[in-house]
Every structure is written in C-alpha cells, then in structure tokens.
Amino acid sequence: MSTPREIKILITGPMGAGKTTALAAVSSVTPIKTEATNSDLAQHSKTHTTVALDYGEVELAGGERLRLYGTPGQRRFNVMWQILAKGALGVVILIDMTRPDPIADLKDYYADFQSVIRESSCVIGVGRGSENSALSTADIAAACESLGSILPVFAVDVRQRNDVLLLLEALFSQIEMAAFE
Amino acid sequence: MQDILSPDLLSAAHRQLVNLLDSVPQIIGAFLATDDGFELTQVVAGKEFEPARLAAICSSIIALSHALVIESELGEPENFLIEAKRGKILLFTIDSNPKLSLAVIAKPAALLGQVLFQSKSCAREILAVLS
C-alpha cells in the first residue's frame, strides 16, 4: 500500500499549548483561523482562543503535501474534535509544560484521539516551559509507554518553523512505515 | 470561568429572550452565549436542550461561517441561517463588549421573515442593554 500524496494531519493539545502558532509557523498558505475572544481567563490569560479549527498546508522535502488542521483545545469543543478527526492519518499532540499536570493532559488527549492514533500515527511535541519544568521529555515518553505506545517525543519551540517541521517529518515517517506494514 | 456579565445585565438580557419567545410562538428556544462558547442564559418552550453543548457548537459554527464569508470576500457577516426538516436555527453575533452569540431555534412552520426580524430586534436590544 502506498502513502497518499495529500495527507490530513491534526494538531491538538490543551488551550495555550501553541497549536495555532505551530500551524502558522509552517503553513505555506495564509492559515484559516477561527478565533474568538477568550472569556475564560482563569484557564489561560491569552486574549483569543480557537473555537472551530485552524487550517494550513505544508509541503515536505519529498514533495508530500500535508493538510494541517488545528483543533480547539477545550473539551467543550469535542464535537469539532470528532469532525476534524475524520480521515486524519496522523496526530501531533502539543504539551504545555507550564500547565499544572502535563502528563494528565497527554493522557486526556491521547484517549480522546485514540481512534485516530490507533489507526494511524502520533508524535508528541513538548512546547512551552520545557526548560523550567520538573518534568523532562523522557518523563513524557515514559508516560506514553505507560499508555501502551512508544511515541516520538520532541522538545520544540512552536514559533520555529524548523522545530515544527521536525515534528511533521517524524509523523510522516511513521505514516509511511505504517503504510508499508 | 469568571462572570462575564453582572447579574443585572444577565437578567436584562434574559428578559429580552423572554420577549422574543413571547413575540413569536413558533420560536422554541433562544440562547445567549459568549463568543468562545460558554452559555450565559436561555429561554426554551416545550423542549429541553443542552445549553452548554449548544453554546460550544454555535461558537464553532459562527466562527467557521465567518471564515467562509471572509474567504468569499463578502464583507462582514451579519447572521447565519440553518434550515432543517424539523426546524430552523438562526445565529447572530452581538457586537457588544464582550462579544456574544445569539442562537434562535424555531419550528419548521415559522415564518422566516418574522423570526429573522424579531431575532434581529432582540439582538439589537441586547446590544443596547450591554452598551
């Protein structure tokens, strides 16, 4: 089985993890954003939050075109999660190490996107606060193992195009390998 | 979540929803929510809805529709209409501070023009209350 040349990828994770920023960092087209004023300042201090999706596109070095869909982070938008998950071949979960319990976040999103992850591929990007956190990327990798998956875990600055591309290249490699199994 | 509206303002906005349902009997529900999908208040007649879930979905649909209108270069969107077999849903953005969403659900037999006119009036009244 060969890998399709156009591939749908999800970027998910908790509110404020940097999903919109990561997508914008790599997209070759002007991203489509659906942001609203954030009224839940107790949850996060940012002014705006994604309420439906972000959309962008990126072409990898091998010519493969990835269609990137960023999800809203908050659970109340889980209807959008289900809609966006349809047809996805891979998931990037971004983890925010400044949040109270990044491992609980990982487990939550892993469970919520289990159907996509089981049928396709997943990588973990450890973003904000990784340098000051008591947890390391190894701890996140160990948490993935405890869930029964050995997943690539990368420390990334989601503002940096090369960091985000690293995540996407790793994910694409997984997808290709899965296609040949 | 912090309180978005004071109890007095919320009560005043709620009264406008009550007035809307009183003005058009075919309207079976009106919901006020924040732009980012938190329910604030609702008035329903004869049918139960899940306001928290509706608020989040309305927020997503309005944002998506907004993106479609902007991509289509049609200017600023005003309202959105969904017609289904068993009813109609109209969605409005209320350009207050904070920005809010109004969802109005009507029976299939409802006259669209009447629902639209009264719902727009309701949105304007809520904007006036909050300004």
Complex ipTM: 0.83
CB-based contact B1 A43, cutoff 8 Å: yes
Note whether A108 contacts B: Cβ–Cβ < 8 A. no
Does the distance separating the beta carbons of B1 and A39 come in below 8 Å? yes
| pLDDT at residue B55, rounded to an integer | 94
pLDDT of B47 reads: 79
CA torsion through residues A27, A28, A34, A37, sign: positive
Bigger pLDDT: B2 vs A137: A137
Rounded to an integer, the average pLDDT of B3-22 is 93
* B43-67 pLDDT tens trace: 999 878 889 999 999 999 999 999 9
What integer pLDDT is reported at residue A128 of this predicted model? 74
State yes or no: pLDDT of B1 exceeds 60: no
Return the structure tokens found at A23.
């997508």
Residues 4 through 63 of chain A touching chain B, CB cutoff 8 Å:
32-43, 49, 51-53
Global pTM reads 0.89
Chains A–B, number of C-beta pairs less than 8 Å apart:
70
- The Cβ of residue A34 has, within 10 Å, a number of other Cβ atoms equal to 24
Query: pLDDT value at position B107?
Result: 96
Percent of chain B residues past pLDDT 90, beyond the cut: 85
Search chain A and give the residue with CA nearest B68: A32
Cis peptide before B7 (omega within 30 of 0): no
In order along its 181 residues, chain A shows pLDDT tens digits of: 555 567 999 999 999 999 999 999 999 999 999 999 999 888 888 999 999 999 999 998 888 899 999 999 999 999 999 999 999 999 999 999 999 999 999 999 999 999 888 877 999 999 877 677 788 899 999 999 999 888 999 999 999 999 999 999 999 998 888 877 7
B36 with A51: Cβ contact below 8 A: yes
Mutate which: A76, A78, A79, vs B, most B CBs within 10 A: A76
Residues of chain B contacting A, Cβ within 8 Å? 1-2, 4, 34-38, 52-53, 55-57, 59-61, 63-64, 66-67, 71, 98-99
The Cα of A123 is separated from the nearest Cα of chain B by a number of Å equal to 26
Q: How far is CA B4 from CA A9, A157, B31, in A?
A: 35, 33, 15
Residues of B in contact with A42 (CB under 8 A): 1-2
- Closest Cα in chain B to A35: B63
Q: What is the pLDDT of residue A1?
A: 52
DSSP code for A93: E
pLDDT in tens, B96-113: 988 999 999 999 999 999
User: Are the C-beta atoms of residues B91 and B120 closer than 8 Å to each other?
Assistant: no
How far off is chain A from B64, nearest CA to CA, in Å? Answer: 6
Residue A2: the pLDDT is 59
Written as six digits, the tokens of B52 are 């928290």
pLDDT of residue A25: 97
In 3-state terms chain A splits into helix, strand, coil percentages (rounded to 5) of: 35, 25, 40
Residue B65 is predicted with a pLDDT of 94
Report how far apart, in Å, the C-alpha atoms of B107 and of each of A85, A103, B21, B96, B116 are: 32, 46, 12, 28, 13
